[in-house]
Homo-oligomer: A and B are copies of this chain.
Amino acid sequence: MLRFYNGKVLTMNDEMTIHKDYEVWVEGSQIVYVGVATDGAGSQTAVSNACAGGNEKLPVFEREIDLKGNLLMPGFKNAHTHSPMTFLRSYADDLPLQEWLHQQVFPMEAKLTPEMIYAFTRLAILEYLTSGITASFDMYVEPEANAGANVDMGFRTVLCGTINDFKDSIPELERFYQTYNHYHPLVRYQLGFHAEYTTSEVLLRDVAALAHQYQAPVYAHVSETAQEVEQCRQRYGRSPIEFLSDIGMWQYGGGGFHCVHVSDADMDIIKEKGLYVVTNPASNAKLASGIAPITAMQKKGIPLAIGTDGPASNNCLDMFREMFLVTALAKLREEDAAACPAEAVLAMATCGGAKAMGLNDCDCIAEGKQADLIVIDLQQPNMQPEHNLIKNLVYSGSKQNVKMTMIAGKILYEDGQFFVGEEPEKIYETVAKMVDAIR
């Protein structure tokens, strides 16, 4: 058993209260105790008292972590990414969208092998850990290589279907769905397709039928650019959200990535179908796609989550930057400094993401939940003074503040060191060699 004590605990389970007198115990992959240690300092006496029913038998702790006043909280969930695209980071930036995609990204992606996808995913996982991200919702081809990288490093992922006219078939999608939902406790799979504009109506109807068969939610890129929406209207006389809803895609819910160009009618459908919107502000800004109407979505009661998108379009995998952008861009869009307050953003980045991905056991700090936890170093200048820790996290927080990242009860990153079964330098070297070979 592992014990965190002498810190502040943000459970994300009770209105953003910061508990200065809580401790948290972890056994195996689970949180087994969250609550007050009576003298607040975490002495063995206090632990004994804190034990359910004042059990006389003290638990045996393998490690007791003195938080020294720092903050323990649930890890961030990266609710939309393409992890293996680390290999294209800074390869082709500052280009118009179509040129970037067709002349730079697609030709390089065509050269990928499963070995490369394995290595490039591992690089992304290292970066997630430095940013306190404890799970990814990862849409990319070759799920076996991707799942393998996650399991080998101890990272949690929800793989997302990528089917479209150029890749994968319905039987493959079904096989992936079955395989990666019974593969390893750290891996799950959700039905998904790339986007309306890359997938024929016939194929989309087949995906909807599969979702119906499994009573499963479906996820996809939706309404990322104005052009995409316009072309869908030309094709089907409806917006992507209207069209996909009409063909029965979301009978069991799901979600849309991006959702930048959505109408009021679209938002009503999103709300009615119980869909999650995963916003990707850095990517949408860098590719000049626009600013998503987060405030309007909040007013509709649409559940929200945050994703980095892939490192080819972002280019970093940093939830702190994304959190600031969610609120900063909402404020600009609404011309209102009060828009999208920090508390709402932090909820999107943690429990909102978990729910969007179907990780209902990873959303908060509570007994029985998975121990996907991070420690935030408050003894850094950007976290001082401590007027309001939630605002500090969202407005001035940084990767530099991530002192520890734990997934399923295992510490994978602590004080700048990785514990992922491989030296990071080896991963960098492997990636560099592979990248050199295909450039």
Contact = CB atoms under 8 A, between A and B. Distances in A.
Interface of A: 86-91, 93-97, 100, 123-124, 126-127, 130, 282, 285-288, 290-291, 311, 314-318, 321, 324-325, 327-329, 331-332, 334-342, 379-382, 384-389, 391-392, 395-400, 416, 424-425, 427-428, 431-432, 435
Nearest to A393: B90
For this chain, the copies found in one complex come to 2
A328 B285 contact: yes
A286 B385 contact: no
Nearest to A284: B332
B89 A387 contact: yes
A285 B331 contact: yes
A26 to B, nearest CB: 26
A124 B96 CA distance: 38
B332 A90 contact: no
9 closest Cβ pairs, A-B complex: A316-B396, A90-B391, A285-B328, A127-B381, A126-B381, A94-B341, A315-B395, A90-B388, A399-B400
Given A395-B314, A428-B379, A331 B90 contact: no
A385 B435 contact: yes
A341 to B, nearest CB: 4
Nearest to A399: B400
Contacts of A314: 395-396
Nearest to A334: B288
Residue picked from A318, A329, A341, A382, most chain B C-beta under 10 Å: A382
Residue picked from A87, A287, A396, most chain B C-beta under 10 Å: A396
A50 to B, nearest CB: 28
Contacts of A382: 127, 130, 316-318, 399
Contacts of A385: 86-87, 89, 123, 428, 431-432, 435
Contact of A398 (B318, B328, B331, B424): B318
Contact of A391 (B315, B339, B416, B435): B315
20 contacts: A86-B384, A86-B385, A90-B387, A93-B388, A94-B341, A94-B391, A96-B336, A123-B381, A126-B381, A127-B382, A130-B382, A286-B395, A287-B331, A288-B337, A290-B335, A316-B396, A318-B382, A379-B424, A381-B424, A387-B435
